[in-house]
Amino acid sequence: MGGRVGLKGSDGAATVQEARRRGAQPQASERAHIALSRLAAAMPGLRVLTAGEDMGETAARAVGFTPLVVHRPEEVDTVSADTQVSVAAMSKAGVDLILFVGGDGTARDVLASKAQHIPMLGIPAGVKMHSAVFGTSPQNAGQLAALHLARDSAAAVREAEVMDLDEDAIREDRVSARLYGYALSPYERRLSQNAKAGAGPGEEATLDAIARKVAARMRSGVLYVLGPGTTTRRVSTSLGLPSTLLGVDAVLDGRLVGRDLDEQGLLRLMADRESYLVVGVLGGQGSLFGRGNQQISAEVIRRTGRDHIIVVAALEKLISLDGEPLRVDTGDAEVDTMLTGHIRVRTGLEQDTVYRVQA
């Protein structure tokens, strides 16, 4: 829930309440419906076990399944214990796949339920999705689930990392990542997300040079929105400005005019003003939009325009994707389609690389 309103996750009741106070809307049910629609089309007779109401029952019934409810939460606002009890019941019943909707926090809850012998697959709907147990989109998660469950399937299963970031540390502008363990997860190269990877050796000087060039070419009267991450932070450093490591900042005429902005804050600053987006690529995953930068929403991208997106990444990061495209998952099919194609990536001081983008 927290992405568009500038929060760095949705773990804990207090954070969920704050997200709602800021006007956030839950994304899980909508994304569950997308994935389950794909699964139901492929396997209409599938036997489905789920938790009650908004924890899965409503979405399953909406696409035509008649699910068996294994757990009904006592409260409207569910907690991690509800996830763990549900998964334990599914494990006891001998299910073939645990399909969950959320981010890294939910993946941790599934892992903690001690059902490691059953493959798990995530429908991406969180702010933090660094783990390798997710499909690259809700549609692809549904397709991958169907491939895994098909009787004649040769779909692979791999041991995938379950990782998470400390949300309190993020809010203090620190990155504290932890590997919580490994889980079996269906894998198909086009449909599965990899774990996030950091920068490799030798990239630092190149990225510093690119950042200085981006900063030097900023035009007066134009708003520059700087996305999260260490790559874009280098642009702020080149300008002598503070920055929010995992937040979104805005620069106008060499001045910081917005820090740690949410979607609405960005839209207010962009009103009647030419704007550019400066974003990096999430290492390992190749994500451009939709992972960790949800403040840069579909509406923000639509108003900016495709031609005003500046992508910065080390060439080594693109090579490490092994030919896989840059991914976009904004939640808006029209904007995802607009972004699909090829985009120019600044990979060196005097070097650009044209790279494929795919929804």
> Within this chain, do residues 157 and 279 fall inside the same structural domain, yes or no?
no
Cβ atoms of 247 and 171 within 8 Å: the answer is no
The pLDDT of residue 177: 74
> Within this chain, do residues 231 and 147 fall inside the same structural domain, yes or no?
no
Query: Is the CA virtual torsion 178, 182, 183, 185 positive or negative?
Result: positive
Burial category of 181 from C-beta neighbours within 10 Å (exposed 0-12, middle 13-18, buried 19 and up): middle
Could you write out the three-class secondary structure of 64-84?
CCCCEEEECCCCCCCCHHHHH
Residue 192 lies in a domain: no
Residue 234 lies in a domain: yes
The pLDDT of residue 6: 56
Residue 198 lies in a domain: no
In residues, how long is the chain?
359
> Within this chain, do residues 220 and 345 fall inside the same structural domain, yes or no?
yes
Task: Give the number of other CB atoms < 10 A from CB of residue 112.
Answer: 16
The pLDDT of residue 12: 61
pTM of the model: 0.73
Residue 72 lies in a domain: yes
d(CA 128, CA 191): 18
Residue 4 lies in a domain: no
> Within this chain, do residues 242 and 164 fall inside the same structural domain, yes or no?
no
The pLDDT of residue 172: 64
> Within this chain, do residues 237 and 286 fall inside the same structural domain, yes or no?
yes
Residue 273 lies in a domain: yes
Buried b (16+ CB within 10 A) or exposed e, 46-76: bebbbbbebbbbebbeebebebebbbebeee
The pLDDT of residue 350: 83
> Within this chain, do residues 21 and 165 fall inside the same structural domain, yes or no?
yes
The pLDDT of residue 283: 73
> Within this chain, do residues 177 and 98 fall inside the same structural domain, yes or no?
yes
> Within this chain, do residues 167 and 59 fall inside the same structural domain, yes or no?
yes
> Within this chain, do residues 152 and 25 fall inside the same structural domain, yes or no?
yes
Mean pLDDT of the chain: 88
The pLDDT of residue 178: 81
The pLDDT of residue 190: 86
Question: Which domain-ending residue is among 160, 187, 214?
Answer: 187
Residue 7 lies in a domain: no
The pLDDT of residue 291: 86
d(CA 251, CA 244): 12
d(CA 337, CA 329): 10
> Within this chain, do residues 138 and 246 fall inside the same structural domain, yes or no?
no
Question: Which domain-ending residue is among 135, 154, 187?
Answer: 187
CATH of the domain at 161: 3.40.50
d(CA 303, CA 292): 20
Residue 195 lies in a domain: no
Question: Which domain-ending residue is among 154, 187, 220?
Answer: 187
> Within this chain, do residues 63 and 144 fall inside the same structural domain, yes or no?
yes
Residue range of the domain that includes 112: 13-187
Number of domains in the chain: 2
Cβ atoms of 243 and 237 within 8 Å: the answer is yes
The pLDDT of residue 174: 66
Q: For the chain, which residues score pLDDT lower than 70?
A: 1-26, 152-154, 167-176, 196-202
The pLDDT of residue 35: 96
The pLDDT of residue 292: 83
> Within this chain, do residues 180 and 208 fall inside the same structural domain, yes or no?
no
Neighbouring-strand partners of residue 354: 344
